[in-house]
Amino acid sequence: MLVNRFVPEINNYVILDDVQGAKIATKHLTDLGHQRIAHISGPLYTGTGISRFKGYREGLQEERITFNPSYVQESQYTVESGYVSMQKLLELPTPPTAIFASNIMTCLGAMKAIHDHGLIIPRDISLIGFHDVFFTSTLQPSLTTVKMPLYNMGRESVKKLIATINGEENENGLTISGASIVIRDSTSPPSI
């Protein structure tokens, strides 16, 4: 059984509705007034990468913001990959005013690249990450994140695992809703 992972060949899993979580992140940025919103995606061969990218696209579409493919950088869910992706976004002729990073590690890399570029978060660029881990509130600035309902995911995973062991589970995947946003200091209205 897989938890927070989706592999097409395995039908017994518990995952988050990553599409909805990404839409929440994108909507937060559009609600602040951002139009030039970039996405540092995860690997687009993974379930989380694809779903979060889809949610980002749907979030833009719902707000009638034209999708700009140059505002998407695929990462490998590492600090280094997030750094390189952010550098590429900052080198665009018209850089974005806000970034939705699909993973906390890529978000940390993006933060460093923004800082190394001499920009200030959120004055010059807003940043939101996916996954509210224990240290996000201690970063400077504290990081706005999408919070995953980890307790519910864990509880449902254990229930499915026990049912599987008892021969009661028919190995159907389960998608959990309940992603929410934790607003901190890394997002604000665009300055330009």
- Whose tokens are 């049912």? That residue is 163
Arithmetic mean of pLDDT, 143-164: 92
Arithmetic mean of pLDDT, 20-47: 97
Average pLDDT of the chain to the nearest whole number: 94
Where does the pLDDT of residue 2 fall: very low under 50, low under 70, confident under 90, or very high at 90 and above?
confident
Where does the pLDDT of residue 163 fall: very low under 50, low under 70, confident under 90, or very high at 90 and above?
confident
Arithmetic mean of pLDDT, 176-188: 97
174 token code pair: 């389960």
**DSSP per-residue letters across 155-188:** HHHHHHHHHHHTT------EEE---EEE--TT--
Residue 171, pLDDT above cutoff 80: no
Query: What are all long-range contacts of 159-162, with beta carbons under 8 Å and residues at least 24 apart?
Result: 160/1, 160/12, 160/14, 161/1
pLDDT for the residue 113:
98
pTM comes to 0.93
Structural domains of the chain sorted by starting position, each given as residue range(s) with its CATH number in brackets = 2-182 (3.40.50.2300)
